[in-house]
Amino acid sequence: MAWDPTVLKDWQIAEAAEGNIPTTEKYQEMMGLQKDEIIPYGKTPKIDFLKVIDRLKNKPDGKYIEVTAITPTPLGEGKSTTSIGIMEGLGKRGMNVGGALRQPSGGPTMNVKGTAAGGGNALLIPMTEFSLGLTGDINDIMNAHNLGMVALNARMQHEANYTDAELAKRGLKRLDIDPKNIEMGWIIDFAAQGLRNIIMGLGGKKDGFMMHSKFGIAVGSELMAILAVAKDLADMRERFKHIVVGYNKQGNPVTTGDLEVDGAMTAWMRNTINPTLCATVEGQPCFVHAGPFANIAIGQSSIIADRIGLKCFDYHVTESGFAADIGFEKFWNVKCRLSGLTPNVSILVATVRALKMHGGGPTVIPGRPLPDEYTKENLGLLEKGCENMVHLINMIKKSGIKPVVCINAFYTDTSAEHALVKRIAEQAGARAAVSQHWMSGGDGALDLADAVIDACKEKVDFKFLYPLEMPLRQRVEKIAKEVYGADGVDWAPLAQEKAERFESDPKYADFCTMMVKSHLSLSHEPTWKGVPKGWRLPIRDILVYGGAKFLCPMAGAISLMPGTSSDPAYRRIDVDVKTGKVSGLF
């Protein structure tokens, strides 16, 4: 029975639903797992993926369903909510279904976005554990990443203090690191804008090497990207050796392997390789593995979780971060290329309210009532905003994957507005369904489930946007024009110099292209809604992820560390000291 989300907060629904969370034995039964394939961890066990994959290696894969969205707005689209809702809807249709979601970052959970547990009756449980660290993967990433930075700064200090002969006595050779060309920074899993730029090492010779440094948010770490794409622990260990921490004074990369810290970093990360199990409020199993932030990272649930899910479920749902121009593009051209998996369906989530903003609706100011344009029927504004949806439908179709538009219903929508969005989506070549999963759970997602089942019956002619042999700048040009709708690309001198160097070095020939761009617009400019015309994409720099094997062109002015708002969620989160239960999560 669905709870009333118009009366109950998400954390209250989660608390009520947790009495029905599957036991370890129930997970074994539902997923066909052996007892030794589940690693106990309270309410959220981990899965020994090597054992599962080895045992099920010859079993055919289930259907592979990806969830993405139109360009985000402050009014919300509900991608995680829809991911959970479609699992519940397929479950109501009697299907063996599960999924994989990304672990939420403490930054948005304690800020304005909240956790990524979905909402209403399309919610992941246990919500408190899911929202506040789960089984410690992000904490392990922070420790491993920051250990790399400890090794870097300590080595720079020792090389400044010791002669070559003294270094040799300690079994060290001079790496000659250039303090003005450091690639790596520190990480913390909060939105701490005051740490974006720091000076460290103040004091004397024993207090570290004084230098400019920086912090990024933890889930944007290269280690999170490696967790998302690693095949197994051996692959992770090898990738950790090649993380670029900076460059020497001759311009050559200095890696974690050079610092001899890669083994210890892997030791911190050894347990993260196994996905964690959670469940929807209606009992469908869902893996949680890898993290968010597709605008500054890969933003995908892990290849490992998808591989297990496709063996355990007849329908496996996975989510990509932010809009289709970012999350789906990376799923399509990076994740699927590395995994070798072929998706059947991509669900494009849209809301009437968000589409109205893309149609030119007024700015939304937090704390003030929504303008009438968003709460009353306005078909003209909505039709104009559907251009953004159609652009992204056409982009998904280029991959050969079947698009299904989910019209994520709000109580302020009208039937005429739903009918308009559905008609425009179908005219663009997509299936479309109105879904009430937030209000009614699986019962509200039956039409969406039927559309997905129907789409999965069709053959997929899957193809990448570009071949891996294509040079970096040509790839970026193709993504800019065919995905974002730009007229072309403008390279800043620094980015141009780096691109030429990477293109001329065979070592980077098989590196994936991982764009870094605003998620709030198809363009680099967050305020340009809808489908901007007559613009060019500026690339100001290129980050190097040597272990993940990513080259990351940076478009526009985007920070790798978000900021905390004046009215963050942490003001309303608390604990009942008598029961230990957490309240206020959303």
Binding-site entries for ATP: 73-80
The two three-digit tokens of residue 384, written as one number = 């104009």
Single out the catalytic residue among 46, 63, 113, 330.
113
316 phi/psi in degrees, rounded to 5: -115, 125
Options 294, 297, 451, 495, the catalytic residue:
294
Closest listed residue to residue 401, CA positions, set 315, 341, 490, 442 = 341
Residue ranges for the known binding site are: 73-80
**C-beta separation of 455 from 431 below 8 A:** yes
Question: Could you confirm whether 410 is annotated as catalytic?
Answer: yes
| CA dist 574 → 16, 110, 253 (Å) | 18, 12, 46
Residue 467: count of CB within 10 angstroms of its CB: 8
Tell me, yes or no, if 491 is annotated catalytic. no
Cα–Cα distance, 291 to 527 (Å, whole number): 26
For residue 553, the surrounding DSSP H or E stretch is strand 550-555
**Given 11, 209, 322, 550, which residue is catalytic?**
322
Q: Which residue has the tokens 């690191």?
A: 177
Which listed residue (46, 79, 239, 549) is catalytic?
Answer: 79
| 459 CB-side CA count, 13 A | 1
Q: How far apart are CA 130 and CA 134, in angstroms?
A: 5
Annotated catalytic residue, options 71, 81, 135, 272: 81
Q: Determine whether 79 is an active site residue.
A: yes
Check: CB of residue 216 under 8 Å from CB of residue 130. Answer: no
Instruction: State the Cα–Cα distance between residues 400 and 411, nearest whole angstrom.
Output: 34
The residue from 102, 356, 384, 529 that is catalytic is 102
- Active site annotation includes 270: no
The values of phi and psi at residue 489, to 5°, are: -130, 135
Nearest residue to 396 via CA among 345, 360, 350, 471 = 345
Nearest to 51 by CA among 318, 232, 268: 232
Strands (E), 70-210: 97-101, 118-119, 122-125, 177-182, 186-188, 198-200
Q: How many helices and strands (H and E) does the chain possess?
A: 22, 25
Token pair 């672990």 in the structure block, residue: 103
Write b or e for each residue in 402-430: b if 16 or more Cβ atoms lie within 10 A of its Cβ, otherwise e. Answer: bbbbbbbbbeebeeebbebbbebbeebeb
From the candidates 438, 491, 502, 550, which is the catalytic residue? Answer: 438
Bridge pairing between strands 177-182 and 46-47 = unpaired
From 410, 491, 502, 550, active-site residue? 410
CA gap 23, 273 in Å, rounded: 22
Q: Is 322 a catalytic residue?
A: yes
Return the active site residues.
79, 81, 102, 113, 294, 322, 410, 438
